Amino acid sequence: QNICFTAATTLDWIPGLSSPSQLLLELRLSSLPTSPGYSITRQSDFPPLSSEPRFLSVTGVVLSATLPSEYTQSACFHCPVEGCSGRGSHYVRLHVAGSSEAATVRPSVHCHICSSPLTEDLSLRTIAHKMVVNVVPSHSLRNSLSTPSHRHQATPIIIRGELCEGVRVGGEYSVIGVPVHTLNESSSRAFVYTRLESLSLSLNAACSYSPWAFSATLAYSFAAEVVPPGAYHRLKLALLLSLASSSTPSPLHLLTVATDTTPLPALLLYGSSLASRSTQLSSTSDLWGSNRSEGGEVVMEGGALVLASGGVCVVGDTSRLKKDKLHRLQHSLEGRQVRLGVEGGARGVVTKTCPLSCSVWAFSPTQPSKALVDSVGVAVFCDPPTSGGADFLSELTTQHLLERARGSATPPPLSHSHLQLVEFSTDS
C-alpha cells in the first residue's frame, strides 16, 4: 500500500491523494505453493480453528450453486454532529475476504473524534454480486459407483464479483480463499499404483505382432468378472471407445439394444468405474438437476448429466423413462447442452445452460425410436452368445484372427474376403 501510494503521488495519478489509507488494494492470487499446508484435497486438510487465517487452495467439482445475489461491497459513513471537527470527513468501510456483510454495514460505527454513532450515506453504497457453491474434491467422483458406502462432505465457498459469471454446476475449479469455518477431521487415504512401466513393456511386446491385437485382446477380456470373456464383444469395444473419448470435447454416447438386458446394468457400471467421473441415474436422482429454496436463496443442484462432466453418466433402461424425459434426453444429446430451468421468485424463470461434456450410456430391451438412435453416437444391437447372434460370430472371429496373427511372421491384411472365410467356417 505504501509503494502504491508513493507511485501514485509521484506520478500524480490520483489528485487529492493524501494518505496511503485512501487506497484500496485488492490482492488476487493466481497460485499458491504446492506444499500440503496450502492445498486442500479433503476436509481433514483444513487447519484447526485456533490457527491463524491464511490463503488456501481448494480444487473440486461444483455440486450446486445459488443464483447470484447482491451484497454490500462498501459503505460510506459521516458524523451527524454539527460541532464535530470530523463532520466533513467520510469513513469508508470495505468488505474483506473472510468477513460477513454485517461487518460492513453494522450500525456500531462511531466517530473517532466525538465517539458519536456515524450515519451511513446510502447513496454512496457500492453493491456487488455473490453466489454460494458447494464443492466436493475431484477424486470423490472417480470410481464412485465402486464405493457406494463412501460419503464426501461438500465445502461451501462464496464466490464474489465477476468470478460468478464463469462458474457452472459440474465444472472443476481451483479456488484460492480464506477459510472461515472448519469441520472435524476425518481420515481418508487413497493408494494409487504408479509403477506401470513393466506392464506397458509387456503389453507392447505381446501385441506388437498385430495392429489390432491389443484392442481385440482387451475387449475379449474386458469385464471378465461380470460376463464371460468373448461375450458381448462388440459392446465391449464400443464401451472402450466411449471411455477413451469421455474427456474429449465431443464424447461418444452409447445405446445398447438387446432382448436380454440382465447383464447389461452390471456391465455398464463396471465400465463406468474406469472413467475419471461416473454417475448413475436412480429413483432419487435427476438427470438435469433440481432447485430448492434455502434461506431466501434459490439453489441449483446439478444432475447426473452435469456432475459427470469429463466422465460417464449411466442412464440405464430407457424404457423406464417417461416420454417427456426421453424427449428431453434426446434434445440434450442432439444439442450437446443441458438446460436447467430454475424458478427465481420475483425474477421469474431463470434458465442456465451447461455443456454436455460426458459420455451417456443407456440400453433398451425394445426397438428404440429412430430419432433417439440418430442422436446417439453409437448404437449396438447385440444378443447373448447362446442365441448364435452377431456377438457369437464376433467372438469366433476374434479368436481366429488372434491365432492367425500369432502363427504368421507379419501381420495379415484385414480384408473383406478374410472375414467371409471366418464366417463360412463358423457356419460349417
Span 13-21, mean pLDDT? 82
Residue pLDDT, tens place only, 333-349: 888 888 876 555 555 55
Mean pLDDT of the chain: 76
- The count of other CB atoms within 10 Å of the CB of residue 67 is 19
Q: How many CA atoms lie within 13 A of 146 on its CB side?
A: 15
- SS3 of residue 296 by DSSP: coil
Torsion angle, alpha carbons of 330, 334, 337, 340, to 10: -30
Banded model confidence at residue 196, pLDDT cuts 50, 70, 90: low
Cα angle 153, 64, 336 (rounded to 5 degrees) comes to: 125
Residue 51: is it exposed, middle or buried by C-beta count within 10 angstroms (0-12/13-18/19+)?
A: exposed
Cell numbers found for residue 80: 451527524
CA–CA gap between residue 266 and residue 252 (Å, rounded) = 20
Please tell me whether the overall predicted TM-score, pTM, comes out greater than 0.75 for this model.
no
Banded model confidence at residue 323, pLDDT cuts 50, 70, 90: confident
Amino acid at residue number 173:
Y
CA–CA gap between residue 85 and residue 78 (Å, rounded) = 11
CA–CA gap between residue 367 and residue 360 (Å, rounded) = 18
Whole-number pLDDT of residue 194: 52
CA–CA gap between residue 133 and residue 242 (Å, rounded) = 30
Cα angle 378, 384, 385 (rounded to 5 degrees) comes to: 110
338: left (phi over 0), alpha (psi -120 to 50) or beta: beta
Banded model confidence at residue 149, pLDDT cuts 50, 70, 90: low
Banded model confidence at residue 1, pLDDT cuts 50, 70, 90: confident
Span 193-221, mean pLDDT? 70
Sequence-ordered strand ranges (E) for 297-400: 297-302, 312-317, 337-343, 349-355, 359-364, 378-381
Percent of the chain whose predicted confidence (pLDDT) is above 90: 3
Which residue in the block uniquely carries the three cell numbers 476374434? 398
Q: Where are the domains of the chain?
A: 1-30, 34-177, 261-370
Amino acid at residue number 87:
R
Whole-number pLDDT of residue 190: 45
Specify the DSSP class assigned to residue 118.
P
Per-residue pLDDT for 410 more than 50? no
Per-residue pLDDT for 390 more than 50? no
Span 8-19, mean pLDDT? 85
Residue pLDDT, tens place only, 56-101: 888 889 988 888 888 888 888 888 888 887 777 777 888 876 677 7
Residue pLDDT, tens place only, 163-191: 888 888 888 888 888 887 544 444 344 44
261-370 CATH fold: Rossmann fold (3.40.50)
CA-wise closest residue to 150 among 142, 162, 158: 142
More confident residue, 258 or 389: 258
CA-wise closest residue to 401 among 129, 207, 155, 149: 207
Q: Which residues pair with 132 in a beta bridge?
A: 158
CA–CA gap between residue 114 and residue 84 (Å, rounded) = 7
